[in-house]
Amino acid sequence: MIKALLQEEPGELVVPAPITAEVDHLLGGRLGHTARLAFLDDLAAGRFTVACLDADDHDVVADLSVATMTWTSGWQT
């Protein structure tokens, strides 16, 4: 079911860079070395776009974090 879902996805499949390590770990622990290597092969083949943040992006994240603190009632700084 998941394989079909991924294969039918018409758009780009984007994976945040830190998540790739987590997926690798989970696949290795739950499905074994073959699944882990298949995922790494997919990454190397460009089947997923690995998204990374640069320094400017982290500034935006910090600004959004501060802005959200004012939206959440009871948030303490």
Pick from 8, 12, 42: nearest CA to 27: 42
Instruction: Please give the Cα distance from 26 to 75 (Å, whole number).
Output: 33
What is the mean pLDDT of the segment spanning 24-28? 93
- pLDDT at residue 74 greater than cutoff 70: no
pTM to 2 decimals?
Answer: 0.65
Helical ranges in 1-77 per DSSP H? 2-8, 17-30, 33-44, 55-71
Say what the pLDDT of residue 39 is. Answer: 93
pLDDT band at 43 (very low <50, low <70, confident <90, very high): very high
pLDDT of residue 75: 54
